[in-house]
A and B are shown apart, each in its own frame.
Chain A
């Protein structure tokens, strides 16, 4: 328990450092993006709104240190200011919708890829030298070596455009209103199938290979030999003795992937015009939407930190050796 809180404190510190960098970086840039932005919007805004915007940027005459604290208090309240690209929606709202889609898209893709890849890795290691082991890993790595956008566009062209099996973009049909009903959910799945499928295909090889290689070395370890000699059924030897241990390095990778992917699977979302974080980021860059960019960077940072914390907890549960070293 102490360990979890220790880690939490560490991540809180890291988050604070990220927040601070996020505050100072734009201010260290030559020129003042915020002023430029305000100037760009001059005349399109009511004076009161302009004043509010200035304040959300912390563009007061106050000294830097008080600006900093104002920024911190805003961030803590979840107030990232107003988006320029999606004016006048607040950044937190824009990110909120994008985040849901990204979590669905990337989260599902990473989970499926991790689960299938790891399972295939276990099987490849167990039946080492079989066709599964000789053909599958190289072909999946081959697939993963293609530039992802090319693979995605190919899939979109062949399966979406030519064959018409899947819709060409967006998270759900324009004629549907979001709701918790079968029609909507099935449409979401139909729209998600291609982007998720291509991500899974492109990343499967990595999971498979890392799991297979760890498994192969652990299958040769003494405790696996002992488990076999004890007369345990093969399924138990593989799952409880070998895979359980081989999983540990992969879990670290899983947490990292989860964290990064929450920042937006940029290419996926662009190719499939999917309204997630990555798509938003591109829009923000295009429109010089600094508040939105800042907000997204922050979410990415927090997502990476959060995912790492989760991995720490999962590790605690998976590996008894970590339980003491932290205490």
Chain B
């Protein structure tokens, strides 16, 4: 469990705009270990998606990587040539897209869409392998000739997972994979992912803003706030012993399912996330923090290791 599959160090991404650079990811370091599920949570614009795009090196043009490194399976992703990059995308790192409804081509059978993946990477496998993959994610193999519109939303997302696993990657990114699904289907899908992950041993980067769901599924959780990593730690540690006020706020906003906490006890964090164009001085969370002290605005917090693998970025823990 300790071997690191993906290592991100001192990583920064800037969006170059007319009014200057806007830092979308600010000095983030984290690891994904082999065979673990790492959850990444944060509000919209906190840098989750930018991080994923940077991982696959599909950042849209105004965004540039200004600092840091990403090592994946011992290779520097940022230094890969186009050809190696193509092999790595989907071959080693694949992804399940957000919208199950729209991520399949409506005029091509799902089987062919899986086979397309084999062909593009010169991998062995045809119709039979496609059916096998579908079977693996809980769809009868004889549905290979079905079209997307003949499947329910949950089944489409399962196809999405089958597609992601087609080339047996070592890292699968789930980008809010269940947003368009209802709660029951969502749970089924996540259980499926968990089972497959145990069976096949790939690592998962699970991105969502649903913290409660994330705590159920992930081994470790990383919380992003305003382009920075606010807190990272093992799920249980974070659930019971979160140290960053933002994480605690989030935990209160999403009462864990089955905890007996009623929805009326849910609290929201006052205010809204800061503009990255003009972030607050010092700790970026201090304008919304209920425990803020004068020095929070004056100096930036250092990342403090609280226990094994548990780090927080808060002056209170310094």
Contacts and interface: CB of A to CB of B under 8 A. Distances in A.
Chains A and B come from one and the same complex:
yes
Nearest to A240: B108
B254 interface: no
Interface string A218-231: 00011101111111
Assign chain B's interface to a size class.
20 to 34
B116 A236 contact: yes
B120 A233 contact: yes
A318 B90 contact: no
Q: Which of A223, A232, A241 has the most CB of B within 10 A?
A: A223
B88 to A, nearest CB: 9
A229 B89 contact: yes
Contacts of A108: none
B293 interface: no
B54 to A, nearest CB: 14
Interface string B116-133: 110011000000000000
A232 B120 contact: yes
B91 interface: yes
Contacts of B160: 226
Contact of B149 (A226, A230, A241, A321): A321
B107 A320 contact: yes
B56 interface: yes
B107 A318 contact: yes
Contacts of B105: 223, 227, 240-241, 244-245
B163 interface: yes
Contacts of A240: 105, 108, 116
Contacts of A236: 116, 120
B102 A230 contact: no
Given A222-B102, A320-B149, A321-B149, A244 B107 contact: yes
A319 interface: yes
Given A231-B91, A236-B120, A320-B147, A226 B108 contact: no
A230 B99 contact: no
5 contacts: A223-B105, A226-B95, A230-B89, A231-B91, A244-B105
Interface in A307-327: 318-321, 324
Interface string A229-260: 11111001000110011000000000000000
B98 interface: yes
B75 interface: no
Interface of A: 221-223, 225-233, 236, 240-241, 244-245, 318-321, 324
Contacts of A226: 95, 97, 103-104, 160, 163
Nearest to A228: B58
Contact of B121 (A223, A225, A229, A231): A231
Q: Which 10 A-B pairs have the closest CB atoms?
A: A222-B102, A222-B103, A320-B147, A232-B120, A223-B105, A231-B90, A226-B103, A231-B120, A230-B117, A321-B149
A227 B120 CA distance: 10
Interface in B103-117: 103-109, 116-117
Contact of A232 (B94, B99, B104, B116): B116
A227 B106 contact: no
A231 B160 CA distance: 15
A245 B98 contact: no
Contact of B147 (A221, A227, A233, A321): A321
A229 B89 CA distance: 7
A245 B104 CA distance: 12
A320 B97 contact: no
Contacts of A319: 106-107
B108 A244 contact: yes
A229 B58 CA distance: 9
Contacts of A321: 106-107, 147, 149
Interface string B11-44: 0000000000000000000000000000000000
Interface string B62-104: 0000000000000000000000001101110011011100111
B116 A230 contact: yes
Q: Which of A225, A228, A229, A241 has the most CB of B within 10 A?
A: A229
